[in-house]
Copies of this chain bind each other. A is one copy, B any other.
Amino acid sequence: MTEKDTPDLTDFRRDVRDFIDRVADDEIREAGRKTTSFFPPFEPTMRWHRLLHAQGWSAPAWPLEYGGPGWPVAQQKAFEEECRAAQMPPLLPQALSMVGPAIMRFGTDAQKAAHLPGILSGENFWTQGYSEPNAGSDLASLSCRAERRGDQYVINGSKTWTTYAHHADRMFLLVRTQPGGKPQQGISFFLLDDLDRPGLTIRPIIGLDGLPEQCDVFFDDVEVPLDSCLGEENDGWSVAKYLLEHERGGSSSFAAHFRQELAFIRRIAAETGDGFGGALGDDPVFQQRFSQLALEVAMVDATEVKFAALDKGSPESGPMSSMIKITAMETLQRINELAIDTVGTPALTLQIDALMVGSETPPMGSPDTLTAMPKYLNNRAATIFGGSSEIQRNIIAKTLLAP
């Protein structure tokens, strides 16, 4: 990796490592080690976000004018790689990588001023309200609605799969502001700057790993101001589309993440028996599965690099962002599956207590094996959320087969 860096990046990488050594406390490090999905433990991760902000590094991909560091793509990638290599928790994407760029693109000056600083600093955390019980893959069929009543909108309906809503103080959501017409029409993109409102209820959903990560959010005559709308009223679909592509494109580097997961598997295999007195890591069958995944990760890396260099409006950009989502998420699932196969039956131990940051409960067996099963379970969602693999293939097919 390092050999292709210019000398500047080598210095920069050292600065990042030094910074991490200096400021990351034990809990932040523990949160990094105990991250078992795309959403790391909330409190320590937000603290890490704020520490990075103090250094000016919280939003590597943001433009200078909004407080980004103005790094070229290679430097962003180097930063990501160093943070991953040091096992820092990845910053939560909802605010920084999702609603933030949408506000930059579509927001009024007032909206930018009201929301971007808190996103950048990590003072606020946003949850995403897109899916509904009857609008998953078919997002355009959503029915949560907002009606104007005087100088307010009144929201009724519900949202589901709102990540960390129980930790969030802000929310962006899609609501129907005009019934009838085509399904995509009449949808608006709302920004809620306060979730502590009458009629708004949040209910955490317990996931396969036994922990809450997603939530249901219910709206019962919830009043929000008229300036809640990002972009034009009834034109929220354009905002959502922009945001989805931005998200799929991988503002973060999947390859750096996956290489860390592979390193983790390799370490476990070196310590695990093969049942005949040798190490599993010396078993050519293990090695071949591992190498196959290294190939897939190299492809994810190459495609991310290519995508980063693409003009985001170009015709290739849409299909390639879907392609990254498919390839990366399916690769991740295979990596997670190799991890549980490498750990073997010790992966079956349920260790909810030991997984809590700051927990006194030690992991059973090797600490390396603690997260294998929760990752395997949680990341089954990786081919479902943010547009399922099937939907992504439909999207690519549309372009590929266009006459």
Contacts and interface: CB of A to CB of B under 8 A. Distances in A.
A260 B285 CA distance: 25
A283 B283 CA distance: 11
A345 interface: no
Chain A interface helix/strand/loop/mixed: helix
Contacts of A288: 285, 288
A381 to B, nearest CB: 26
Interface string A282-308: 011100100000000000000000000
A285 B287 CA distance: 9
A373 to B, nearest CB: 24
What number of copies of this chain does the assembly contain?
Answer: 2
Contacts of A284: 283-285
Interface string A269-286: 000000000000001110
A288 B285 CA distance: 7
A257 to B, nearest CB: 27
A111 to B, nearest CB: 48
A247 B285 CA distance: 38
Contacts of A285: 284-285, 288
A285 B284 CA distance: 6
Nearest to A284: B284
Contacts of A283: 284
A337 B285 CA distance: 19
A285 B288 CA distance: 7
Nearest to A286: B284
A284 B280 CA distance: 13
A330 B283 CA distance: 28
A341 to B, nearest CB: 13
A288 B284 CA distance: 10
Interface string A317-330: 00000000000000
A359 to B, nearest CB: 39
Nearest to A291: B285
A289 to B, nearest CB: 9
A348 to B, nearest CB: 24
A366 B3 CA distance: 46
A80 B52 CA distance: 72
A288 B286 CA distance: 10
A251 to B, nearest CB: 37
A43 to B, nearest CB: 45
A73 to B, nearest CB: 37
A279 to B, nearest CB: 14
A277 B92 CA distance: 52
Interface of A: 283-285, 288
6 contacts: A283-B284, A284-B284, A284-B285, A285-B285, A285-B288, A288-B288
6 pairs of A and B residues whose beta carbons are closest in the complex: A284-B284, A285-B288, A284-B285, A285-B285, A283-B284, A288-B288
